Amino acid sequence: MRLENKIAIITGAASGMGEAMAYTFAEQGAKIVATDIQTEKLNVLVATIKAKGGEIIGIKHDVSYRKEWFENVIPETLSAFEKIDILINNAGISISHQFEEQNEDIWAKAYHINMNSVMLGMQAVLPHMKSKGGSIVNISSIAALTGMAGPGVYTATKGGVSAITRAAAVDFGAFGIRVNAINPGYILTPMSEPHLSNQQYKDYLFGVIPLKAYGLAQDIANAALFLASDESRYITGINLPVDGGTTIM
């Protein structure tokens, strides 16, 4: 097992990529702390993993609030499992508006959920990883690496995630803490599928994706597993596109 006896906090774990990561990490021996604001879906995830023999707790969690990190998530994690080895900052939102229609409220919402949460999560786990090392994986986007029409605020916040990943990798390296980012491309999830299934949009995207296929949540989970595990012990500060080649076009 690649994560045996590792303790992993995964945000946004109730659906999509976070859900796939929770199942994959549990199968590889990790004990899971799954957080999300979608409590009904979170409860299903917890019950399913427990039924398969995995160890997991679920925590209702708004990632954009410092208090919830420091007074809920971290204490409950330590109470249940006594340590923290892995943090997956996965929770995020996608907001798409024409650039001239974006305003301060939209930017503030996207910033707090997509980027501020990453900073808070890293700050929260840092004291508990300093003595023994750890792995942090931040979920960014190919929007951080290329220009995209429409989601300017999303692009800006994901660019921030990619940048703060590099900065944290430098700051945390002396403690044996690795910090990496994954940059998903066009991934089929319950949230994206209605949009990506549109035939006209699909025809266009398959023209810019060299592998001529959408990614799956499991593809992101597999990349996160590698970066969380000791197999990537000498890798830190990278932004890893998992995008079927989209960013090389």
Which residues form the catalytic set? 154
Quote the distance between the C-alpha of residue 155 and its chain's center. 16
Structure tokens at 89: 């900052």
The CA distances from residue 232 to 48, 121, 132, 177, 224, in Å, are: 29, 21, 16, 12, 10
Checking phi first, is residue 37 left (phi over 0); if not, alpha (psi -120 to 50) or beta?
A: alpha
Give the other-Cβ count within 10 Å of 71's Cβ.
11
| Residue among 88, 70, 106, 75 at smallest CA distance from 26 | 88
Q: Are 151 and 143 in contact (CB under 8 A)?
A: yes
Structure tokens at 70: 């420091």
